[in-house]
Amino acid sequence: MRTQILGILTLIAMLATFYAVFIYAPDIKDQGVTGRIVLIHVPIAILGLLFVVPVFVGNILYLIKRDLKFDRFASCAAEITVLLISLTLATGMIWAKPIWGDWWVWDPRLTLELILWLTLVGYFMLRAYLPDREKKAKLSSVLGILAMINAPINYMVIRITDRTQHPQPIIAPSDPNAGMAPEIANAMMISFIAFTLLFVYLFDRRLKVAKIEDEVDRLESVVLAQ
C-alpha cells in the first residue's frame, strides 16, 4: 500500500515536472532553451550525493552490529546511487556539449563524480566476486565508506577552487550575486520533489527485492542441509 501511494504521488509529481520544465520555466540566461537541462540535471546530481549517506550509515551500522540487514540496506542504497550518478554524468555531458562545446572536460567536479561512480561500481564488482555473504558485506563496506569521503569534497569543490569550468552554486546564502529567477526556482523545487519521490519509490522497491533475495538464500541453505 505504501509503495502504491508513493508510486501515484511520483507519477503526479513527474507530470508537474514535465509541465514545469517544458512550459512554465523561462529560458536560462546565456544558455537558451538548453539551459533548462539543469532543471533535471541538478536535482538528480544532488540526490546522487545525498544517497551516499544511507550507503555510509548502512555500512557503518553493519560493521558495528554485524547484522546483515544493514548491509542489505547499504547495498540497495548503493545501487540507487550508481543509477543516480550514471544519470548525473550522462545529463551533465548532454548539457556540456552545447554549452561548453565538449562532452567531457577533466574538471575537478566532473572527475570527482567519475571517481565516486567508479568507487560504487567497484563496490558491486567486489560483491559479485566474493561468494561468502559475511565477507562480501565486510569488505564492500570499506568502499561504501570511501564513497562518503568523496561526497562532501565533491559538493564543496566548486566553492573552494577557481580551477573549475563547472557553474558556481546558484543557491548560496553567503553570495549576494547568487540566485535564480523565481520561476526557475519553483521549477527546480518541483523537479527536486518529483525525483526525490521517484528514487525513494525505487529504493523502497529495491529493498523489498533484496528481502526476497535473502529469504531465497536462507531457504536454499536449508534445502541443501537436508
Partner 1 sequence: MSSMNSLSWLYAICTVVFVGLFIYTWMMSSRQKRLEEKLDQLRAQLKETNR
Binding site for partner 1 (CB under 8 A): 21-22, 27, 31-37, 40-41, 44, 83, 86-87, 90-91, 94-95, 97-99, 198, 202, 205-206, 208-209, 212-213, 215-216, 219-220, 222-223, 226
Buried b (16+ CB within 10 A) or exposed e, 105-141: eebbbbebbeebbebbeebeeebeeeeeeeebbbebb
Pick the closer one to partner 1 by CB: 25 or 157: 25
Nearer to partner 1, 142 or 214 (CB): 214
Nearest to 104 by CA among 41, 166, 167: 166
**Among residues 27 and 134, whose Cβ is nearest to partner 1?**
27
Minimum Å distance from CB 15 to partner 1?
13
The smaller minimum CB distance to partner 1, of residues 45 and 157, is found at: 45
Shortest distance in whole angstroms from residue 86 CB to partner 1:
7
Element (H, E) at 96: helix 68-100
Instruction: Read off φ and ψ for residue 32, nearest 5 degrees.
Output: 65, -155
Q: How far is the CB of 1 from partner 1 (least distance, A)?
A: 17
Displacement of CA 9 from its chain's centroid (Å): 20
